[in-house]
């Protein structure tokens, strides 16, 4: 049994310790907000926070997470009103919506470390998250908008 | 929390109970379907039109009343409107209800979208070819108007006044004389018992009175998407479900010679290994066969697959090498082909070599690569005549899939219940039912629910690719008309091969997509196509044949402009010529016009020129650019819409940086302008992927790419500032999903030429320049 802290809840998992977190979340815990996109850390659809840092859950075995805090899209904000989520709604970012959980988790992790990122900072940080629908312009605008909110705090 | 989405699949009811997401639950929730009380007649395009009274969850006070097959209203006014097309990011699940609600005069806050299941009674459900709004606009308006008229009639009956003396407004019907009003919810029961109006008695609004059409409403699923609650095909979880990962033949038509599953079966969680049915070519859109590993979790299924030892017999299609094929196609188009459209005489003319230009362009195979790889879940229960099958899948063509499954199981279509989930992108890939039939084939054998999940490698190696192509163009400059003596040739493996395994010639339908409809006014023209053989599955990818045809046409117009010493904008205007509706039939070409009528969607040269001019003005393409920078433009009318694109790039030290992109679209009436904008933004990013780095290559019949590291797509750092300019119009709505991509393609390569003098005629750009 492996015990993980997911969204501030302790959960016990009876799985192969090598199982990447993504599959544990989706198949064992019914937390399907985190998505599969490539299985090799290329696209960012599976991004979660581990101790506040963005991490690709499709290549992170559950065994390395036992003393860490994992946050998924479901746990980012209890009312789904994290500043990035508010901003995402305001700019109507999603098209198909599939990659957006990963985009939101990356964007919120970016703001954790860099509260007022430049365009270049966003390009660098967010280039690991693919959106095939092409919502990049709105992602950039929404991050800047949420960052503006940060400066008023 | 914003508006809930009334789909049969929500995070709360889909995850644990089969029954909760069954048709019965759907009926219970929404009161639409076979248990409904049928009272009504039909209107053209939709039959039967149902009017019904049913209860929801056994609560009489929550009675819901169906006014027709698309609209039903609760006694509390809550209004459910069915979207019968599939949502893949284009926004149709919002825009279809928006059109219906407009004519219904409903209060949008009380409207809920219901995703329709596969059901022939909705009419065609194939969500492709940018056709949902283009072809369903008037029908959906009539659906809303018919329901509104029933509510008005019910109110008139109540007040015992002529129906002309009442009017529906914002979810109420008002007595014009007394000012009394009755809510839609109060009227629903009485209205549901009325006979729907006949088609010729349905009255539609004037465009000037539109409240909802043209308004940027929020997507019904947006909140759930942002909260991580929206349910896609891969998110379906059922009790006792097994997950299947399949090793498919690396070469199409290949077969399993032998396999050893012993290592796969050692993986914790793997419960079974099944050899799929070997199918003979042509497989059409059916599965390719192979070996399936079934496990209790997705990771175990994928790990088990990696441990299979399979000997393949590759078969006849192992001959394909795309490098050779590309050269063959390029060589082929240097010769005269089968004439699709001709006027005047281009072959007796003696070309003035100084003023004549010829060029050949080529584009490799392209994959859809939606972010959500194909996935479907199926259960098969009972046997013989009582066999039933329930499916959850993200599919662009529910009724086609339903038919394939019925044939597979030897049952009637009606015994196949197909629930449509949100799709994590599709771009044409999910029109095919192969992954759905795979799930059904396996579910039948294990007598348990089976979810098939494709890996990214599966998606890239076993796709239905946009065909590799070569286009040739030749013309002589002419002062007045830009050019004359125009020869245009195309060679690419046709999509038709998919279905018969034989076809080599392009059909008139194929040639209608950005090739045979070149709208130029010159006197002499010959448009020709060549035969080509297939060894991988060709398919429809967003933009379809217009992708390569627009690349060639848009590049050639730019090359002609350069040779003539005028702007590309000027060259387009000259070539298009006078204001007119181009009649291609007169020139012997039976133009398909994307299935639209010429009355609603003429080939209008005035709109073409207006679109190009609007783009150039908005992007200010005429402004002189610094060294190493330049603007390129492209234009195409396709899928009933007019789209012009402009791209600005910087090219230095052999590296291309895209700086800015613009798109101008005349799509007639824009139902949800912000979603039109979003589709154009998406088209620009999709176009960048194709031009800068896109391409699937094949060696010995096997696809060489495997994941996003070698089948690259545009990332945020390669995506510039984008601007969309929607041309206001009351013309019939055109398509939006597909027509954005084609004109963007040449705009990028033309910009590279302006910035650097490097003419890219063979895509992708990254074979010549860094991107």
pLDDT band at B47 (very low <50, low <70, confident <90, very high): very low
Domain of A117, CATH number, reads 1.10.150.120
* pTM of the predicted protein model: 0.94
- The HSE-up count of residue B336 (CA atoms within 13 Å, CB side) is 8
User: Could you give the CA distance from residue A52 to residue B318 in angstroms, rounded to a whole number?
Assistant: 49
Provide the chain A residues 81-120 that lie in CB contact (below 8 A) with chain B.
85, 88-89, 92-101, 104
Smallest Cα distance from A78 to chain B, Å: 10
B507 — contact with chain A (CB < 8 Å)?
no
* Closest Cα in chain A, distance from residue B713 (Å): 7
> Helix, strand, coil shares of chain A as percentages rounded to 5?
40, 15, 40
Instruction: Please name the helix (run of DSSP H) or strand (run of DSSP E) that holds residue A11, with its range, or none.
Output: strand A9-13
Structure tokens at B446: 């294990």
**Residue B9: pLDDT over 60:** no
Report the length, in residues, of chain B.
771
Is residue B379 within 8 Å of B238, Cβ to Cβ? yes
Binned at pLDDT 50, 70 and 90, residue B587 comes out as confident
What residues contact residue A67 under an 8 Å CB cut-off, 6+ apart? none
Same structural domain for residues A15 and A44? yes
pLDDT at B4 over 70: no
| Whether A151 contacts chain B with CB within 8 A | no
Checking if the pLDDT of B266 tops 90, the result is: yes
End-of-domain residue from the set A26, A55, A74 = A74
Name chain A contacts of B425, Cβ cutoff 8 Å.
Answer: 96, 98, 132-133
Q: What is the mean pLDDT of chain B?
A: 91
B96-155 pLDDT, tens digit per residue, is 999 999 999 999 999 989 888 898 888 899 999 999 999 999 999 999 999 999 999 999
Contact list, B451 vs chain A (CB under 8 Å):
none
Shared domain check, A104 and A64: no
pLDDT in tens, B596-605: 999 999 999 9
Q: What pLDDT score does B611 carry?
A: 98
DSSP state of B414: G
Query: Are B372 and A92 an interchain contact pair (Cβ–Cβ within 8 Å)?
Result: no
Query: Residue A138 and residue B453: Cβ atoms within 8 Å?
Result: no
Cross-chain CB nearest to A136 (options B226, B237, B716): B716
Interval A7-12 mean pLDDT: 96
Q: Which of A6, A26, A28, A32 would you mutate first to test chain B, the one with the most B CBs within 10 A?
A: A32
Residues of B with Cβ-Cβ distance to A117 under 8 angstroms: none
Provide the β-strand partners of residue B258. Answer: B311
Instruction: Assess contact for B251 and B318: CB atoms under 8 A.
Output: yes
- Considering only CB atoms, which chain B residues are within 8 Å of A88? 226
Question: Contact B219/A32, CB-based, under 8 Å?
Answer: no
- Searching chain A, which residue's CA lies closest to the CA of residue B394? A96
pLDDT-based confidence at residue B66 (cuts at 50, 70, 90): confident
Does B218 sit within 8 Å of A45, measured CB to CB?
no
Size of interface A-B (CB pairs under 8 A): 196
Q: Is the minimum CB–CB distance between A13 and chain B shorter than 8 Å?
A: no
Band of residue A151 on the pLDDT scale cut at 50, 70, 90 = low
Q: What is the mean pLDDT of residues B661-668?
A: 98
Residues A13 and A46 in one domain: yes
Q: Pick the residue from chain B with its C-alpha nearest to A95.
A: B89
Chain B hits for A124, Cβ within 8 Å: 717
Residue A71 contacts B where some CB pair is shorter than 8 Å: no
The interface residues of chain A toward chain B in range 17-46, judged by CB-CB distance below 8 A, are 19-20, 22-23, 26-28, 30-40, 42-43, 45
Walk me through the domains of chain B, giving residue ranges and CATH numbers: 11-227 (3.30.365.10), 233-315+374-453 (3.30.365.10), 322-367+464-767 (3.30.365.10)
Please answer yes or no on whether B90 and A95 come within 8 Å at the CB atom.
yes
> Are B223 and A89 within 8 A, CB to CB?
yes
Is pLDDT above 70 for B57?
no
pLDDT of residue B327: 98
Nearest to A33 among B229, B425, B716 (CB): B229
Dihedral angle over CA of B708, B401, B493, A133, nearest 10:
-30
Is B304 near chain A, with CB under 8 Å? no
Residue in chain A closest to B683 (alpha carbons) equals A134
Asked if this assembly's ipTM is beyond 0.90, the reply is: yes
Q: Looking at the predicted structure, is the pLDDT value of residue B38 above 80?
A: no
Range of the domain at A54: 2-74
A7 with A70, same domain? yes
Q: pLDDT per residue over B347-389, tens digit each? A: 999 999 999 999 999 999 999 999 999 999 999 999 888 899 9
Q: How far apart are CA B622 and CA B568, in angstroms?
A: 10
- Identify the H or E element spanning B360: strand B356-363
Q: Which residues of B touch A138 (CB under 8 A)?
A: 678, 681
First to last CA, chain A: 42
Summarize pLDDT for B734-770 with one digit per residue, the tens: 999 999 999 999 999 999 999 999 999 999 999 999 9
Q: Does residue A122 share a domain with residue A103?
A: yes
Please tell me which of the candidates B231, B371, B422 has its beta carbon nearest to residue A130. Answer: B371
Report CA torsion sign: B555, A136, B367, B733.
negative
Residue B433 class from Cβ within 10 Å (0-12 exposed, 13-18 middle, 19+ buried)? buried
Q: Which residue of A has its CA nearest to B425?
A: A96
pLDDT of the residue at B64: 59
pLDDT band, residue B67 (cuts 50/70/90)? confident
Structure confidence at residue A149 (pLDDT): 85
Predicted confidence at residue B745, as pLDDT, reads: 98
Residue B606 near residue B532, CB atoms below 8 Å? no
Q: Does B238 touch chain A (CB under 8 A)?
A: no
Rounded CA separation B125/B707 (Å): 31
Question: Which residues in B lie closer than 8 A to residue A131 (C-beta atoms)?
Answer: 371, 685, 716
Is A138 within 8 Å of chain B by CB? yes
* Interface touch B228/A33, C-beta < 8 Å: yes
Tell which of A27, A42, A74 closes a domain.
A74
Q: Is the pLDDT of residue B59 over 90?
A: no
Distance of CA B305 to the CA centre of its chain: 31
Contact B297 A127 (CB under 8 A): no
Rounded Cα–Cα distance for residues B132 and B122 (Å): 12
Residue at which a domain ends, from A74, A109, A132:
A74
> Among A29, A99, A31, which residue's Cα sits nearest to residue B372?
A99
Q: Which residues of A touch B692 (CB under 8 A)?
A: none
Res. B13: pLDDT tops 70: no
Residue B766 phi, psi (nearest 5): -70, 0
For the segment B175-215, what is each residue's pLDDT rounded down to a tens digit?
999 999 999 999 998 998 888 898 899 999 999 999 999 99
Q: Do A60 and A96 share a domain, yes or no? A: no
**Distance, in angstroms, between A18 CA and closest chain B CA?**
10
Provide mean pLDDT across the span A25-33.
97
Q: In chain B, which residues have their Cβ closer than 8 Å to the Cβ of A23?
A: 297-299
* A64, A26: one domain: yes
Q: How far apart are CA B202 and CA B196, in angstroms?
A: 9
Q: Do B299 and A96 touch (CB under 8 A)?
A: no
CATH number, domain of A45, equals 3.10.20.30
Q: Chain B closest CA to A65's CA: distance in Å?
A: 17
| Contact: A92, B222; criterion CB under 8 Å | yes
Least Cα separation, residue B95 to chain A (angstroms): 13
Return the closest-CA partner of residue B698 out of B585, B534, B578, B453: B534
Alpha-carbon dihedral sign for residues B67, B71, B74, B79: negative
For chain B, the first-to-last Cα distance in angstroms comes to 43
- Per-residue pLDDT at B121: 81
Chain B residues close to A93, C-beta within 8 Å: 226
Is A62 touching B (CB cutoff 8 A)?
no
Q: How far apart are CA B562 and CA B728, in angstroms?
A: 32
A48-100 residue pLDDT tens: 999 999 999 999 999 999 999 999 999 999 999 999 999 999 999 999 999 99
Range in B60-64, B493-497, B558-562, B647-651 the model is least confident about: B60-64
**Contacts A104 to B, Cβ<8 Å:** 226
Q: Measured between beta carbons, which residues in chain B are less than 8 angstroms from residue A140?
A: 716
Give SS3 for B652. Answer: strand
State how many domains chain A has. Answer: 2
* List of chain A residues whose C-beta atoms are within 8 Å of the C-beta of residue B717: 123-124, 126-127
CB contact under 8 A, B268 and A30: no
| Domain shared by A63 and A109, yes or no | no
Q: Is the pLDDT of residue B538 over 50?
A: yes
The reply to whether residue A97 touches residue B713, judged by beta carbons under 8 angstroms, is: no
On the question of pLDDT at B422 being above 50, the answer is yes
Task: Say whether both A70 and A99 belong to one domain.
Answer: no
Q: Which residues pair with B476 in a beta bridge?
A: B356, B484
Interface with chain B: mutation pick from A13, A15, A27, highest number of B CBs within 10 Å? A27
Percentage of the residues of chain B whose pLDDT score is greater than 70: 92
Q: What is the mean pLDDT of residues B585-603?
A: 95
Number of H helices, E strands in chain B: 19, 28
pLDDT in tens, B431-483: 999 999 999 999 999 999 999 999 999 999 999 999 999 999 999 999 999 99
Tell how strand B450-453 and strand B242-247 pair up: parallel
Average pLDDT over residues B674-698: 98
Over 90: is that where the pLDDT of A138 sits?
yes
Residue B418 near residue B211 (C-beta atoms within 8 A) = no
Separation between Cα atoms, residue B719 and residue B742, nearest integer Å? 17
Tokens 């690709």 sit at which residue? A56
Do A27 and A87 share a domain, yes or no? no
Based on the domain organization, do A8 and A57 belong to the same domain?
Answer: yes
Q: In this complex, is the C-beta atom of A48 within 8 Å of any C-beta atom belonging to chain B? A: no
Element at B168 (helix H, strand E):
strand B166-169
Decide if A130 and B713 are in contact by the 8 Å CB cutoff.
yes
As a whole number, the mean pLDDT across chain A is 96
């Amino acid at each position: 049994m492996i015990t993980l802290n997911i969204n501030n809840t302790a959960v016990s998992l009876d799985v192969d310790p090598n199982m990447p977190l993504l599959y544990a979340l989706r198949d064992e815990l019914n937390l399907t907000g985190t998505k599969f996109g490539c299985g090799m850390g290329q696209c960012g659809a599976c991004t979660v926070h581990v101790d506040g840092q963005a991490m690709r859950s499709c290549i992170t075995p559950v065994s390395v997470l036992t003393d860490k805090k994992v946050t998924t899209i479901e746990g980012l904000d209890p009312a789904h009103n994290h500043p990035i989520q508010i901003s995402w709604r305001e700019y109507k970012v999603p098209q198909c919506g599939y990659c957006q959980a990963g985009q939101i988790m990356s964007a919120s992790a970016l703001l954790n470390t860099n509260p007022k990122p430049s365009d270049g900072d966003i390009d660098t940080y967010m280039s690991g998250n693919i959106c095939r629908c092409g919502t990049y312009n709105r992602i950039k605008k929404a991050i800047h908008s949420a960052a503006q909110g940060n400066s008023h705090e | 929390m914003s508006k809930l989405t009334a789909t049969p699949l929500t995070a709360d009811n889909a995850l644990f109970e089969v029954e909760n997401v069954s048709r019965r639950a759907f009926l219970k929730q929404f009161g639409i379907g076979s248990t409904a009380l049928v009272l009504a007649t039909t209107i053209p395009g939709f039959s039967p039109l149902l009017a019904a009274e049913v209860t929801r969850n056994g609560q009489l006070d929550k009675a819901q009343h169906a006014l027709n097959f698309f609209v039903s209203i609760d006694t509390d006014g809550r209004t459910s409107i069915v979207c019968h097309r599939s949502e893949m990011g284009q926004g149709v699940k919002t825009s279809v209800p928006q059109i219906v609600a407009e004519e219904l005069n409903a209060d949008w806050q009380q409207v809920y979208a219901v995703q329709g299941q596969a059901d022939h009674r909705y009419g065609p459900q194939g969500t492709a070819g940018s056709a949902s709004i283009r072809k369903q606009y008037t029908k959906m308006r009539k659906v809303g108007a018919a329901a509104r008229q029933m509510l008005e009639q019910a109110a008139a009956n109540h007040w015992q006044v002529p129906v002309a003396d009442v009017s529906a407004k914002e979810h109420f019907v008002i007595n014009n004389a007394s000012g009394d009003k009755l809510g839609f919810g109060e009227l629903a029961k009485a209205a549901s018992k009325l006979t729907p109006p006949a088609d010729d008695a349905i009255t539609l609004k004037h465009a000037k009175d539109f409240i909802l059409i043209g308004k940027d409403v929020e997507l019904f699923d947006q909140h759930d998407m942002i909260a991580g609650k929206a349910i896609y095909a891969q998110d379906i979880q059922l009790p006792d479900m097994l997950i299947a990962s399949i090793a498919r033949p690396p070469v199409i038509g290949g077969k399993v010679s032998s396999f050893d599953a012993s290592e796969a079966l050692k993986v914790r969680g793997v419960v079974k290994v099944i050899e799929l049915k070997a199918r003979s070519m042509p497989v059409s859109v059916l599965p390719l066969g192979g070996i399936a590993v079934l496990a209790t979790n997705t990771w175990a299924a994928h790990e088990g697959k990696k441990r299979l030892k399979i000997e393949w017999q590759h078969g006849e299609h192992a001959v394909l090498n795309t490098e050779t094929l590309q050269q063959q196609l390029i060589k082929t188009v240097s010769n005269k082909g089968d004439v699709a459209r001709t006027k005047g005489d281009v072959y007796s003319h003696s070309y003035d070599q100084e003023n004549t230009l010829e060029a050949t362009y080529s584009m490799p195979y392209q994959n859809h690569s939606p972010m959500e790889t194909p996935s479907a879940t199926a259960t098969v229960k009972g046997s013989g005549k009582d066999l039933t099958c329930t499916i959850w899948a993200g599919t662009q063509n529910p009724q086609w899939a339903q038919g394939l499954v019925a044939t597979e199981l030897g049952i009637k279509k009606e015994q196949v219940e197909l629930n449509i989930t949100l799709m994590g992108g599709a771009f044409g890939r999910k029109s095919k039912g192969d992954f759905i039939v795979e799930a059904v084939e396996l579910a039948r054998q294990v007598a348990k629910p089976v979810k098939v999940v494709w890996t990214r490698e599966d998606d890239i190696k076993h796709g239905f690719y946009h065909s590799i192509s070569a286009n040739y163009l030749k013309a002589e400059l002419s002062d007045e008309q830009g050019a004359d003596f125009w020869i245009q040739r195309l060679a690419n493996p046709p999509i038709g091969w998919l279905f018969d395994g034989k076809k080599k010639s392009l059909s008139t339908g194929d040639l209608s997509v950005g090739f045979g409809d070149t709208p130029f006014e010159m006197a002499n023209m010959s448009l020709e196509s060549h035969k080509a053989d297939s060894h991988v599955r060709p398919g429809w990818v967003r933009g379809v044949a217009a992708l390569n045809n627009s690349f060639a046409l848009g590049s050639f117009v730019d090359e002609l402009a350069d040779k003539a010493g005028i702007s590309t904008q000027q060259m387009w205007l000259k070539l298009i010529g006078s204001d007119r509706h181009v009649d291609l039939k007169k020139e012997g070409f039976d133009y398909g016009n994307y299935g639209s009528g010429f009355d609603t969607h003429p080939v209008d040269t005035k709109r073409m020129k207006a679109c190009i001019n609007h783009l150039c003005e908005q992007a200010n393409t005429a402004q002189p650019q610094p060294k190493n920078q330049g603007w390129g433009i492209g234009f195409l009318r396709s899928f009933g819409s007019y789209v012009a694109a402009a791209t600005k790039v910087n090219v230095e030290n052999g590296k291309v940086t895209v700086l800015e992109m613009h798109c101008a679209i005349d799509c007639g009436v824009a139902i949800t302008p912000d979603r039109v904008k979003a589709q154009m933004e998406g088209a620009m990013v999709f176009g960048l992927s194709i031009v800068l780095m896109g391409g699937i290559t094949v060696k010995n019949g096997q696809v060489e790419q495997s994941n996003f590291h070698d089948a690259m797509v545009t990332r945020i750092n390669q995506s510039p500032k984008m601007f969309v300019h929607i041309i206001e119009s009351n013309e019939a709505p055109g398509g939006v999903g597909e027509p954005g991509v084609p004109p963007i393609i040449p705009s990028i390569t033309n910009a590279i030429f302006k910035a650097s003098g490097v003419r890219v005629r063979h895509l992708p750009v990254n074979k010549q320049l860094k991107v």
